[in-house]
Chains A and B, each alone.
Chain A
Amino acid sequence: MKLSGAEIFVECLKREGVEIVFGYPGGVVLPIYDEIFKKDYFRHILVRHEQAALHAANGYARAAGKCGVALVTSGPGATNAVTGLADSYMDSIPTVCFSGQVPTAMIGTDAFQEADTVGITRSATKHNFLVKRVEDLALTIRQAFHIATTGRPGPVLIDIPKDVSTATCEFHYPEKVEMRSYKPVTRGHTAQVKRAVTALLGAKRPVIYSGGGVMNSRGSAELLTELMGKLNFPITQTLMGLGGVPYDDERFLGMLGMHGTYEANMAVSHSDLLLAVGARFDDRVTGKLEAFAPDAKIIHIDIDPSSISKNVHAHLPIVGDVKVVLGQILKELEAKGKQPDAEALKIWWHQITEWRSKDCLNFTQDMNGPIKPQYVVSQLHEKTGGDAIITTEVGQHQMWAAQFYGFKQPHRWITSGGLGTMGFGLPAAIGAQLAFPDETVIDIAGESSLLMNIQELSTAMQCKAPVKIAILNNGFMGMVRQWQEMFFGSRYSHSYCESLPDFAKVAEAFGGVGYRIEKPEDVGPTIEKALAIRDRFVLMDFSVTREENVYPMVPAGAGLHEMVLS
């Protein structure tokens, strides 16, 4: 039977098991939208800006463990999507974005709403396609989902000219997808695994350092926790890796890096063996490269060969899927039947306990003073039992959320790590909420970030996503202000907003519930009230100390051991 391109589109998405598409219609995607209307195969969430479609798809993908899908129109629709694509690319989040394109005959003529979408998004995607013939559409969609979700995941864009959606051809859905140029390795090299186990058993000052790869390889967090337990090794995590092991396990040292804990950064700096699991030695993690874990033998497990020895030389690389390789390591450990050096570990743990006793994240909330942002995050943890799905925007509030929330499980922490996109949290929260309608989803936000995509309150209302938004409102672009205070003589050049809206009223204007909280004693009760509301979104605008800084902090260009504690 002959189908049109638009019909093939919906048929393919159905077969890929797509349940939700985040999108925004426009001229050249109307044939596709018409088919979505007729077939009703999946839920379509109408966003208010295409950037938000990609962030929502990102949040959905990370919470649900599925591929996020977005649909945008040509020209401005596609260019608006670029930030969202770049964000998913940096954080390796599986997403497929469909963009409309002007008819093939008009490509290159500067037609209305024409943009060179494939050219513009080439460096913001794992791969992209321009479909020129309707006959190629089904295979391209199949390949796009395959590429997005396998290997090191990432966003893939498919640009579909209008005449390709309307042209017809015989529909064949390719059941299998085989690409001779794309065959990611998942299993670790056996000899390397053996060498790694020998090194692990011989280590005297080991540290496990895990990252976002653990989130992308579903089921690997359990194995990571098992390995940590078997070896009794300390573990630290990157911003992207939080939740990889339960936060309250005593072997968890907290996050490392620029705003990592004292114990995590000191342990890494003094380690003799570093087991990097699905982490990419980002500059926010390593600080000054020469001073990063100078005495450590580095074992690096990563599915992307180009991540290995890119920034820091890996003495023992293992290319493969984190879950598969951790399974191999556990098996090899068992086969060897040996224990790590208990005597050395005892001394090492003693040292770590001493570092830990600095209690570097300590803060005091004066119940008669202004609200501390750290207190709000701690209260959010307490009232949700550490079980909520947390998204964030970017800045100080993001770091406080990372430091103080405490995650019991993986896939409950959704933040823009690599690109650092302000405006990410609200649409991501909507995406996560749609994946888990009955769970509590909280966007911990800054007032400046939230304003970047605040129009998405309208999306939350329309799709009945009862997300909670907790603004740590200090009236500044907090992280910018902190840097200006520390490195630019406290000259707060354009890092504050003078005419901020009344956020509670904004929330109400969009149809949700809004609270303004100014006293510490009201923090807990307001959160409780907010958590009880399930039929609409709730915005909590916490007025917090204006010039609080995020500590500890490793100044840019310094080594991890040179962190400033207060």
Chain B
Amino acid sequence: MKHTISILVENEFGVLTRIAGLFSARGYNIESLNVAPTLDYTASRMTLVTRGNEKVIEQIKKQLNKLIPVIRVEDLTNQSHMERGMMLVKVQATEKTRAEVLRMAEVFRASVVDVSEASYTLELTGKENKLEAFLRMLEPHGIIEMTRTGPVGMRRGAKGFSVD
């Protein structure tokens, strides 16, 4: 099963390698990983998506906690939470299809970030399945290139996820 895990780490060099190294050394997969500093610049927050049965996920969480620079680990999967990813997609836009591509962008509430004679570049934020659906709709028009982040996530409600 797919799990989304939030990790708070010390913002120091090498910490990303420690996390990645742990996954490769123990044979776990990283489906996606996002890292950025938090409001407190001494700490970074990661959102990591991985797959495994309950036993594997339990071991992943324990092994993450065992790394010295890891401050907190939280598995979002079984809690009420939100996840959002961001995508940039460059799609062909001919005279015939320009309007349709724009209409699709409007439906998905994507924004146009770049225009050329033959293309639009669109930016879309949302859940994984929304991004997937958008790609499916653009596919017939000819996708030139696409890049996307893995999801970032947090728990719903007033409770935060910080150092203390």
Contacts and interface: CB of A to CB of B under 8 A. Distances in A.
Interface in A94-127: 118-119, 122-123, 126-127
A181 B68 CA distance: 6
A305 B65 contact: yes
Nearest to B10: A181
Contacts of B18: 122
A306 interface: yes
15 contacts: A122-B21, A126-B68, A127-B68, A147-B68, A180-B71, A180-B163, A181-B9, A181-B71, A304-B66, A305-B62, A305-B66, A306-B59, A306-B62, A306-B63, A309-B58
Interface in B48-63: 55, 58-59, 62-63
B110 to A, nearest CB: 39
A179 B69 CA distance: 9
B62 A122 contact: no
A549 B135 CA distance: 65
Max chain B Cβ within 10 angstroms of own Cβ: one of A123, A130, A180, A181: A181
Given A123-B21, A306-B59, A118 B68 contact: no
B25 interface: yes
A118 B25 CA distance: 16
Nearest to B62: A306
B46 interface: no
B124 interface: no
A309 B14 contact: no
A297 B111 CA distance: 59
A123 B25 contact: yes
Contact of B14 (A118, A182, A305): A118
A32 B13 CA distance: 25
B17 interface: yes
Most central of B14, B68, B71 by chain A CB within 10 Å: B68
Contacts of B101: none
Contacts of B59: 306, 310
Contacts, number: 36
A167 B71 CA distance: 32
B21 A306 contact: no
Contacts of B65: 305-306
A130 B17 CA distance: 14
Nearest to A126: B68
Contacts of A182: 68
Contacts of B14: 118, 122, 130
B89 interface: no
Nearest to A182: B68
Nearest to B66: A306
Nearest to A307: B62
A398 B65 CA distance: 35
A497 to B, nearest CB: 34
B93 interface: no
Nearest to A122: B21
Contacts of B9: 181
A305 B25 CA distance: 18
Contacts of A147: 68
Contacts of A306: 59, 62-63, 65-66
Contacts of A309: 55, 58
A118 B9 CA distance: 19
A104 to B, nearest CB: 13
Contact of A119 (B17, B66, B69): B17
Nearest to B17: A122
A511 B46 CA distance: 59
Nearest to B18: A122
A306 B61 CA distance: 9
The list of the 3 closest CB pairs from A to B, nearest first, reads: A306-B62, A127-B68, A181-B71
A103 B10 CA distance: 25
B58 to A, nearest CB: 7
Interface in A282-324: 304-306, 308-310
B70 A181 contact: yes
B52 to A, nearest CB: 14
Contacts of A119: 17
A118 B13 CA distance: 11
A406 B3 CA distance: 49
Given A181-B68, A304-B66, A306-B62, 18 more contacts: A119-B17, A122-B21, A123-B25, A127-B68, A130-B14, A147-B68, A181-B9, A181-B10, A181-B69, A181-B70, A181-B71, A182-B68, A305-B65, A306-B66, A308-B62, A309-B55, A309-B58, A310-B59
Interface in A172-196: 179-182
A309 B58 CA distance: 9
A127 B66 CA distance: 10
Interface in A133-150: 147
Instruction: Give the residue among B66, B69, B71 with the most A Cβ atoms within 10 A.
Output: B66
A119 B14 CA distance: 9
Nearest to B70: A181
A310 B60 CA distance: 10
A119 B62 CA distance: 22
Interface in B96-152: none
A411 B27 CA distance: 35
A306 B58 CA distance: 9
Contacts of B21: 122-123
Nearest to B65: A305
Contacts of A122: 14, 17-18, 21
Nearest to B25: A123
Contacts of A310: 59
A179 B9 CA distance: 12
A181 B73 CA distance: 11
A309 B63 CA distance: 12
Nearest to B8: A181
B53 to A, nearest CB: 13
A313 B55 CA distance: 9
Contacts of B68: 126-127, 147, 179, 181-182
Contacts of A126: 68
Contacts of A308: 62
